[in-house]
Chain A
Amino acid sequence: MSALLLRDLVLSIRAGGGFGLGLAFFLIVTVLVPFGVGPQTDLLARIAPGILWIGALLACLLSLDRILALDWEDGTLDLLATAPLPVESIVTVKALAHWITTGLPLVLAAPVLGVLLSLPLPAYQWVVISLALGTPALSVIGTFGAALTVGLKRGGLLMSLLVLPLYVPTLIFGAEVARRGAEGLTVQTPLLLLAGISFGVIALLPFASAAVLRINLR
């Protein structure tokens, strides 16, 4: 398992690996929004938590079709399926590698980019905490979408349509944590719900991903 994780991380930083794709997209969104909205810092401050969350979500979505499609094309998935690794652990490792290369950089970049959006001071910690808690769910759900559409030519569109509705609960509670944090309200309820979603999908969804991947490999 660690060999697979290590290989995926090495591949992501080699040429054409796609590391930084999500991060660059996140940067572009948060840099462009102030230009589009105009220089009203109070308005920007109000929408900043939501913009950061939407930017992170779309940045995650952008790199999903790479999770399994590349291994499918060169036959690695077939060979992995006959290897001693259970398919459940393959999809878990794939989701983890996606989170490390996409989700984690977004969490770390969010406070820096928050400055551009005049993010209120009390919101910084809650944006980071909610993204750290929510982005693993985005990676795991995204791996499920990738497993559903692996083997389809140009499956990216279908995958986006399938995955976006599944992302909505994470977005609602994640952005709610950040918004309440920004306004100095109590964040306990949305934070617990966000944690529930994350841990729930991490615990359950790899089994669903493995099941659909097995069917798709046939």
Chain B
Amino acid sequence: MVLAVRDLAVTRGGMAILEGVSFDLSPGEALVLRGPNGVGKTTLLRSVAGLQPVEAGTVTGAEDQMAYAGHSDGLKAMLSVTENLKFWASVFAVKDIESALHSFDLIELRNRMAGTLSAGQKRRLGLARLMVTGRPIWVLDEPTVSLDVASVALFAEAVRGHLRSGGSALMATHIDLGLEEARVLDLTPFKASPRARHMDEAFL
């Protein structure tokens, strides 16, 4: 499934921030979005994920094909690592959670409550969730926040495995993941000229 973004324009807080963004993402490909803080990486990813209306342009091929991971991991503090993963696996009708636990080195933590994990461990659990979605397109917003070097390597390996199995990944990140095959898209040239959005949409 090819994710195709054409002439996308997005707004944040009523201000246009990006316009004319176009790219394709084919199976087996990874695309890294770069740009300074505030350029609109998160807004673009949320629009691709369908969590936010687009101002102009189209996103095709994302619906029901993509797994989104944002700034928050969506973990329940009072559920154990296994219970958290099992919940998401059953939401996405996937049976196997063991490979996800292995990939992110969570086997020893599996019976701990998610609330007692460190920030980096929580993040690893949040990323392991992607593997139990069974979705081909991963949309990742700053996936490596609070991960140490070893965990970043685990994550890069998981992404690589995902690409090998015909998946694709779209991510915004500031650090180098060591994914040589990933293309890089700098969003700075797509910055929108400042203008206000239509007022009546402020309520929608």
Contact = CB atoms under 8 A, between A and B. Distances in A.
A161 B139 CA distance: 39
Given A82-B50, A218-B51, A218-B52, A76 B78 contact: no
Contacts, number: 70
Contact of A75 (B74, B79, B87, B91): B74
Given A11-B79, A218-B53, A83 B74 contact: no
Interface residues of A, number: 25
Interface of B: 49-53, 64, 66-76, 78-79, 83, 86-88, 90-93, 129, 133, 204
Given A82-B50, A83-B133, 4 more contacts: A7-B83, A15-B78, A80-B74, A81-B50
A82 B49 contact: yes
Q: Say what secondary structure dominates the interface of chain A.
A: helix
A31 B69 CA distance: 48
Nearest 10 CB-CB pairs, A to B? A75-B72, A3-B90, A14-B78, A76-B74, A79-B74, A75-B74, A82-B68, A7-B87, A83-B91, A218-B52
A2 B204 CA distance: 31
A3 B93 CA distance: 10
Interface of A: 2-4, 7, 10-11, 14-17, 73-76, 78-85, 215, 217-218
Contacts of B70: 75, 78-79
A79 B138 CA distance: 12
A81 B74 CA distance: 12
A16 B91 contact: no
A16 B78 contact: yes
B51 A81 contact: yes
B52 A74 contact: no
A83 B92 contact: yes
13 contacts: A4-B87, A7-B76, A14-B79, A73-B72, A74-B73, A75-B70, A76-B76, A79-B88, A80-B74, A83-B88, A83-B92, A84-B91, A215-B204
